[in-house]
A and B are shown apart, each in its own frame.
Chain A
Amino acid sequence: MKYKSSVWTLFLLILAPLEFSSARAQDNSFFESHIRPALIEHCYECHSTGKKIRGGLILDSKAGILKGGDSGPVIIPGKPDESLFMKGLHYQGDLKMPPKGKLNSNTINAFKEWIAKGAVDPRDSSKETANATTIDWGKSKLFWSFQPVKKTPVPVTKGSSNPIDSFVQKQLNLKSLTNSGPATPQELIRRLSFTLTGLPPSVEDVDSFLKDRSAISYEKLVDKYLSSISYAERWGRHWLDVARYAEDQAHTFGVKPNSDAYKYRDWVIHSFDKDMPFNDFVRYQIAADLMPEPKRLENLAALGFFGLGAQYYKNTDAARAIADELDDRIDTLSRGFLGLTVSCARCHDHKFDPIPTQDYYSIAGVFHSSKLSNTPVCTMEELKTFESEKKKLIEAEFNLNKFIQTERLPFLEKKLKSFESNYLEAARFLEKKKKDEKLNYKGFGNDPVALERWVKFQDKYKSNKKFAFFAEPISQWNDKTTDEQKIISINKAKDALLKVIRNEKDASIKEKQNKNTPEFYEAFFGNAGLMPLGDSWKKELDTTKLVEFKALEEQHIALKKKTPDALPVVNAIAESTPSDLKVYIRGNPSKQGEIAPRRFLKIIAGEERKTFSKGSGRTELAEEIVSPDNPLTSRVIVNRIWAWHFGKGIVATPSNFGKLGEAPSNQDLLDYLAGNFVETGWSIKKLHKLIVTSDTFKQSSKDISKNFAIDPENIFLWKFNRQRLDIESWRDSILSISGKLDKTIGGPTFNLNDSNSKRRTVYAKISRHDLDPLLRIFDFPDPNITSERRIETTVPQQQLFIINSSFAIEQSKELAKRLQDFSKVERDNINQAYKLIFSRNASIQEVDLALSFLYNSEDNAEKSSNKMDRWERFAQALLASNEFIYID
């Protein structure tokens, strides 16, 4: 993942043949007494097989020391002066070894003598050297996730006809576990509504489901939720975690926010809404721009998957920053779609999975052959038309401006002569007298408006270096300045001003003013300038000129009307010059090794895989990923969907299906789901339906101690996992319950700290630079990197939000209003609160508890200063409760 530039690689040296002329025994003892101890003490820490291997150099074996570092040998036996090793010891040039401090001269001389005598090394030379890592492809292929998706027949079990239940039941039987039985209808509809839509079920839906609890009625609910936009808003957000979606960059300098980022978010939501087949979903995010119309146009925004990716700081060491950006693309692509940590192979072959460094750079080459692009959302013809019209408009603008400039100049000069000295002098006058004196200076006595403008002008430009030249002469005035001196400096400033306006060259003006003429004209004569001239110059035109001007102006106006300023764009990627990368040795872009042809991973596509030949190769890359033969893609996505329903995946590490990931808890089930998913057209909604209609999903979340003793972590799904609402669902549900949720779909983002905004959280601004504190406190993943799941924490700051934030207080008040409007009977209002928030009726005990709270007497000292009435506090307590945030 990280490279460290090797310092042993400045020169490529040629290894000279070894020659041992001196007495071997004597040399061996020299090595043992002088060389080996010095190597151990000063070098092994960073250059030995047991510890670190910096710069690819191993010094604890004969083979290593002879082989040298990443780009060549470090010693030439017999020639110490030409050996890089000695240069390092002598601290010559940039290479200084050991880095902690130069060795004493005795030791350095010993090394010199040793090399001079042929560098005799009695150590065993059979040890392997640094770069010789090998992947056993045959064995690697046997790892479960690289095996083809298996078609295990659905086991025959009692009860449910849903294959999920059969696979789960089979395992429960094996482990002597029992299913915990069905959840109550209230629990079930609540669970279903939250998991599919991120919102609580409506009171009406709960009531009618309680009346008709049949499987058909349940299925109708499932269909209703799946076809609601709320479903897509919730599930789109899940995917945005993987896509590390954000609208800006983490750092401060030189980055513009991607103001069109929301179009990617909306595309994702739209895709979930219409149940876009997942293979297309993948294709578009990698290569929508290379698809035929109308697919291209409809899905351009999908490219935000990469187009909104990291952009790093490139002021110094740009090569490294560019390599880091490529790494962001590879990491998000490979963990996101394939569940493989390909990024681990950036500096060396993957230590655990069969991914050689060359494969990393094969994929990197694809993205190196692509570039970030703000792509217009239009057809190619529309783009052509726009561009040609834009060109015409620019021409018309140019002609018009040229005319104005030419004709206006003489007028300006004439005008100026009568103005400038007055303005300058007045400025000085103002500065001195400040505001308490009346503005009756003779030159301006009749024109206070002009005077005011002048003051503003001064303020605006006083720190602008380009205007300093003419402020300088008068800024040096003091109380002792004589009138004569004042006149001289006024004239100096006036001359400078005139020269600039007339576009004359003058060495006395420090800055190169000639380049700035338009800026000066605007500053002085523009509408917001010192002497706004408006259209008055036109009066000086003769009839012919006037006709000419009108024609130019009309042409410009007509074109301007016709041509929009800019076409709407999406933050995407586009094709760049296709080329292969070479392997960056140890991840160092300045040290390149063998070529890495653009192609897919060997472990998936096989030894004989084709190299990519169509442009960057993104289309081919996408096809490799969604190929039905690819054993990872379908498994990875069905596991993600599963995890988002159950709180935990069948593979507990959804973005790592490699050796260091978790093994599947039920591979037959995973494979069944993956196989079925592909067979049913990669439909995510069908998968949801299969899952949520299973008894496994519908079972109770209550504990059974016998099961707990065997499987405390519920790996085998003997119960449903009780889950906490994520921040989006919680905030949205509070708004929904208070009746204030704004259901506007899509479009630009809103700020979460804007208390007027009551839209669903998925539409909030997501910033890498400054993630909203509410999101941050509630375990929202860092959008700088792809996220496989949310790590749930419980901290007091979260509770401070619900007990103290203005959002929580405001919504509690709204809810209290809604409850009190419900009926005149207090008990009914309390019950209605329970129905709205918990989807159930309140027990008598609960109603009594609520009543005693509502009628408790106020604290005497605080009664007059409290700003929430008891109903509002009651509402807040319910919204803060565990029952609301934890879904059974």
Chain B
Amino acid sequence: MVLLSRREMINNLGAGTGLIGLGGILGDAGLLNAASTNENPLMPKVAHFPAKAKYMIHLFMNGGPSQVDTFDPKPSLIKYNGQRPDIANKSTERKTGGLMQSPFKFNKSGKSGIEVSEIFPNIASCIDDICVIRSMHTNIPNHEPSLLMMTSGETQPTRPSMGSWLLYGLGTENKNLPGFVVMCPGKPVVGPQLWSSSFLPGVFQGTHINNSSMDPKKIIQNVANPSLGKNSQREMMDYLAKMNQLHLEKRGNSDNQLETRIQSLEMAFRMQFEAQDVFDLNQEPKNIREGYGTSPFAQACLTSRRLVERGVRCVQIFTGGGQPWDNHDDIQQHRKLAQETDQPIAMLLKDLKSKGLLDETLVLWGGEFGRTPTSEGAKGRDHNNHGFTVWLAGGGVKGGYIHGSSDEFGFAAADKKMHVHDLHATMLHLMGLNHEKLTYRYSGRDFRLTDVEGTVHKEIIA
């Protein structure tokens, strides 16, 4: 249970259209009811309009996977291998040389026949559930600004993350679990700012879980009591509750904040067990566990399904600490990274589907930018903000569909260009939120995830 005073909410509600939009939501949920001044801002809220997607899982390929080696095949790279025609003469972070063909083969996959790199055989088998967006672009070919752009819609560390916006707009369905969970073994580049609530209330912040070891007792800070058994702790909590009750009665039972904290203590007691439960993967059948695999990334994928199943709004999984996909030296390293992630990702999609969850779970796969079709050194590729590929699955998107395209060599987005702001706008739309109405009043302005940008690409919606 969370306390946020009515005045606080009113102060921070957006003005103009935002006020009508979100004000409506909160009104529906009873948040602006004058009779109750303290309500839980994490309570599930009615979206702006009905939507299929309720939950989001972001599979963050941090470091920036190469589009032309994964989901955007470019035969012209073979023809022009080693050359640097004008159209490939674009500046990125470092100096690059001539065009470099992909060392990987592409195979037509699924009924849709979408070509997928041989390094993703398992994801290829799910391609008919996937919407590949080949026309992504972003602002800056450096990790930090682009990581921030992808997670918060701004290149500086001054804005709330997308997960925080989702919690703010939609609340979460399980009050005993954090509503926005981030899994990364260690930390990605930039770090916690990527899941920060920034100027939104701290309650909307992502909870980082270091999934390098999945010990359910340690995964959420202070989730387990090291000193007392469950019954003994319960007894102590009962004594505490009695004292708090006396205290409340003496104050005329009229102060909601006191009562809210009493409830919050009870919730904390329950959370100890529920939170440990969700991270205990041994509860899964063996075939499911084996289907995902045993790497930290695989365990995170399985955990994400368990979280979403329990009503957690948003889960973000990083491939690894640092920036694993940043293969400047040798693009062949993509093969190894793909091997580590291909099976768990495909299993996640299949598992969600078999549980009937894929329809209401929006899955995003992608990095903060792509890589150059030109070579860096002999075998590597540089960062590329001009064009890259991401894919979406589930949550009401068209499966087996390709949206937009890049230029002949896959360097820059060309047709149906989709900026990160547009991706955000579209994803919020899929979650039932109008990105222009999801606003928060702060420092004299109504802020939104998409700043003053963002266009919903409706073509990708099923």
The answer to whether the Cβ of B142 comes within 8 Å of any Cβ in the partner chain is yes
A786-845 contacts to B (CB < 8 Å)? 791-801, 803-806, 809, 845
Question: Which of B222-230, B301-309, B328-336, B387-395 faces chain A?
Answer: B222-230
B91-133 vs A, CB cutoff 8 Å, 1 = contact: the mask equals 0010000000000000000000000000000000000000000
Whether the pair A804, B444 counts as a contact (CB closer than 8 A) is no
Bound Cα distance from A774 to B443, whole angstroms: 26
Bound Cα distance from A338 to B197, whole angstroms: 26
A844-879 contacts to B (CB < 8 Å)? 845-846, 849, 853, 856, 858-859, 861-862, 865-868, 873-874, 876-878
The size bracket of the interface on A is 35 or more
Bound Cα distance from A784 to B228, whole angstroms: 39
B139-157 contacts to A (CB < 8 Å)? 139-145, 154-157
Whether the pair A312, B156 counts as a contact (CB closer than 8 A) is yes
- Which residues in B have their C-beta under 8 angstroms from that of A776? 202, 205
The answer to whether the Cβ of B445 comes within 8 Å of any Cβ in the partner chain is yes
The answer to whether the Cβ of B340 comes within 8 Å of any Cβ in the partner chain is no
- Which residues in B have their C-beta under 8 angstroms from that of A846? 243, 246
The answer to whether the Cβ of B201 comes within 8 Å of any Cβ in the partner chain is yes
- Which residues in B have their C-beta under 8 angstroms from that of A455? none
The answer to whether the Cβ of A770 comes within 8 Å of any Cβ in the partner chain is yes
Q: A316-B140, A660-B15, A791-B8 known; A343 and B443 CB under 8 Å?
A: yes
The answer to whether the Cβ of A438 comes within 8 Å of any Cβ in the partner chain is no
A27-61 vs B, CB cutoff 8 Å, 1 = contact: the mask equals 00000000000000000010000001000000000
B352-378 vs A, CB cutoff 8 Å, 1 = contact: the mask equals 000000000000000000000000000
In the complex formed, the residue of A with least CB distance to B446 is: A660
Whether the pair B191, A252 counts as a contact (CB closer than 8 A) is yes
The answer to whether the Cβ of B453 comes within 8 Å of any Cβ in the partner chain is yes
- Which residues in B have their C-beta under 8 angstroms from that of A251? 144, 157, 189-190, 193
A316-370 contacts to B (CB < 8 Å)? 316-317, 320-321, 324, 331, 335, 341, 343-344, 352-353
The answer to whether the Cβ of A882 comes within 8 Å of any Cβ in the partner chain is yes
- Which residues in B have their C-beta under 8 angstroms from that of A519? none
In the complex formed, the residue of B with least CB distance to A782 is: B198
Bound Cα distance from A45 to B240, whole angstroms: 59
- Which residues in A have their C-beta under 8 angstroms from that of B232? 858-859, 862, 866, 873
Whether the pair B201, A703 counts as a contact (CB closer than 8 A) is no
Whether the pair A799, B157 counts as a contact (CB closer than 8 A) is no
B197-224 vs A, CB cutoff 8 Å, 1 = contact: the mask equals 1110111010100000000000011111
Q: A703-B254, A703-B255, A722-B255 known; A877 and B243 CB under 8 Å?
A: yes
Bound Cα distance from A768 to B148, whole angstroms: 14
* Residue in B189, B192, B193, B444 whose CB lies within 8 Å of A660: B444
Q: A252-B190, A313-B144, A785-B158 known; A862 and B231 CB under 8 Å?
A: yes
In the complex, what's the smallest C-beta–C-beta distance from A536 to chain B, in angstroms? Answer: 43
Bound Cα distance from A793 to B444, whole angstroms: 22
Of A52, A253, A883, most buried by chain B (CB within 10 Å of CB) is A883
In the complex, what's the smallest C-beta–C-beta distance from A888 to chain B, in angstroms? Answer: 8
Whether the pair B239, A853 counts as a contact (CB closer than 8 A) is yes
Whether the pair B231, A803 counts as a contact (CB closer than 8 A) is no
A285-315 vs B, CB cutoff 8 Å, 1 = contact: the mask equals 0000000000000000000000000101101
The answer to whether the Cβ of A771 comes within 8 Å of any Cβ in the partner chain is yes
A748-786 vs B, CB cutoff 8 Å, 1 = contact: the mask equals 000000000000000000001111010011011010110
- Which residues in B have their C-beta under 8 angstroms from that of A777? 202
- Which residues in A have their C-beta under 8 angstroms from that of B248? 882
The answer to whether the Cβ of B343 comes within 8 Å of any Cβ in the partner chain is no
In the complex, what's the smallest C-beta–C-beta distance from B214 to chain A, in angstroms? Answer: 19
In the complex formed, the residue of A with least CB distance to B223 is: A800
Whether the pair B4, A803 counts as a contact (CB closer than 8 A) is no
* Residue in A344, A660, A724, A803 whose CB lies within 8 Å of B441: A660
Question: Which of B261-269, B279-287, B427-435 faces chain A?
Answer: B261-269
A538-593 contacts to B (CB < 8 Å)? none
Q: A252-B189, A652-B7, A776-B205 known; A352 and B271 CB under 8 Å?
A: no
Q: A312-B156, A712-B37 known; A803 and B268 CB under 8 Å?
A: yes
A1-22 vs B, CB cutoff 8 Å, 1 = contact: the mask equals 1101000000000000000000
* Residue in B191, B223, B416, B452 whose CB lies within 8 Å of A52: B452
Whether the pair A316, B142 counts as a contact (CB closer than 8 A) is yes
Q: A316-B93, A797-B221, A803-B269 known; A768 and B233 CB under 8 Å?
A: no
The answer to whether the Cβ of B278 comes within 8 Å of any Cβ in the partner chain is no
The answer to whether the Cβ of A135 comes within 8 Å of any Cβ in the partner chain is no
In the complex, what's the smallest C-beta–C-beta distance from B274 to chain A, in angstroms? Answer: 10
The answer to whether the Cβ of B247 comes within 8 Å of any Cβ in the partner chain is yes
Bound Cα distance from A1 to B153, whole angstroms: 13
- Which residues in A have their C-beta under 8 angstroms from that of B257? 722, 724, 794, 886
The answer to whether the Cβ of A385 comes within 8 Å of any Cβ in the partner chain is no
In the complex formed, the residue of B with least CB distance to A886 is: B258
The answer to whether the Cβ of B461 comes within 8 Å of any Cβ in the partner chain is no
Whether the pair B192, A793 counts as a contact (CB closer than 8 A) is no
The answer to whether the Cβ of A662 comes within 8 Å of any Cβ in the partner chain is yes
* Residue in B93, B203, B237, B417 whose CB lies within 8 Å of A100: B417
Q: A313-B142, A324-B156, A782-B196 known; A794 and B3 CB under 8 Å?
A: yes
In the complex, what's the smallest C-beta–C-beta distance from A578 to chain B, in angstroms? Answer: 26
The answer to whether the Cβ of A656 comes within 8 Å of any Cβ in the partner chain is yes
The answer to whether the Cβ of A881 comes within 8 Å of any Cβ in the partner chain is yes
Whether the pair A849, B193 counts as a contact (CB closer than 8 A) is no
Whether the pair A866, B258 counts as a contact (CB closer than 8 A) is no
The answer to whether the Cβ of A713 comes within 8 Å of any Cβ in the partner chain is yes
Q: A660-B444, A791-B201 known; A867 and B192 CB under 8 Å?
A: no
In the complex formed, the residue of A with least CB distance to B418 is: A100
Bound Cα distance from A386 to B239, whole angstroms: 65
In the complex formed, the residue of A with least CB distance to B207 is: A797
Whether the pair B240, A801 counts as a contact (CB closer than 8 A) is no
- Which residues in A have their C-beta under 8 angstroms from that of B144? 251-253, 313
The answer to whether the Cβ of A689 comes within 8 Å of any Cβ in the partner chain is no
Of A250, A331, A708, most buried by chain B (CB within 10 Å of CB) is A250
Whether the pair B229, A661 counts as a contact (CB closer than 8 A) is no
In the complex, what's the smallest C-beta–C-beta distance from A483 to chain B, in angstroms? Answer: 35
Of A353, A658, A856, A859, most buried by chain B (CB within 10 Å of CB) is A859
- Which residues in A have their C-beta under 8 angstroms from that of B254? 703, 708
Whether the pair A341, B261 counts as a contact (CB closer than 8 A) is no
Whether the pair B247, A4 counts as a contact (CB closer than 8 A) is no
The answer to whether the Cβ of A99 comes within 8 Å of any Cβ in the partner chain is yes
Of B156, B190, B224, most buried by chain A (CB within 10 Å of CB) is B156
Bound Cα distance from A770 to B235, whole angstroms: 36
The answer to whether the Cβ of A138 comes within 8 Å of any Cβ in the partner chain is no
Bound Cα distance from A1 to B142, whole angstroms: 21
In the complex, what's the smallest C-beta–C-beta distance from A488 to chain B, in angstroms? Answer: 29
The answer to whether the Cβ of B402 comes within 8 Å of any Cβ in the partner chain is no
The answer to whether the Cβ of B28 comes within 8 Å of any Cβ in the partner chain is no
Bound Cα distance from A10 to B228, whole angstroms: 70
Whether the pair B267, A799 counts as a contact (CB closer than 8 A) is yes
- Which residues in B have their C-beta under 8 angstroms from that of A801? 221-222
Q: Please list the residues of chain A having a beta carbon within 8 angstroms of any beta carbon in chain B.
A: 1-2, 4, 45, 52, 96, 99-102, 250-253, 310, 312-313, 315-317, 320-321, 324, 331, 335, 341, 343-344, 352-353, 652-653, 655-656, 658, 660-662, 702-703, 708, 712-713, 722, 724, 768-771, 773, 776-777, 779-780, 782, 784-785, 791-801, 803-806, 809, 845-846, 849, 853, 856, 858-859, 861-862, 865-868, 873-874, 876-878, 880-883, 885-886, 888
A-B contact pairs, 8 of them (CB 8 A): A45-B455, A251-B189, A660-B441, A779-B202, A782-B199, A784-B158, A792-B5, A867-B228
Q: Please list the residues of chain B having a beta carbon within 8 angstroms of any beta carbon in chain A.
A: 1-8, 11, 15, 34, 37, 41, 93, 139-145, 154-158, 176, 178, 187, 189-193, 196-199, 201-203, 205, 207, 220-233, 235-237, 239-240, 242-244, 246-248, 251-252, 254-255, 257-258, 260-262, 264-265, 267-269, 271-272, 415-417, 441, 443-445, 451-453, 455
Excluding A250-B190, A867-B227, 13 further A-B contacts by CB distance (< 8 Å) are: A250-B193, A251-B189, A253-B143, A341-B445, A770-B191, A785-B199, A791-B4, A792-B5, A793-B201, A794-B2, A794-B260, A797-B207, A882-B258
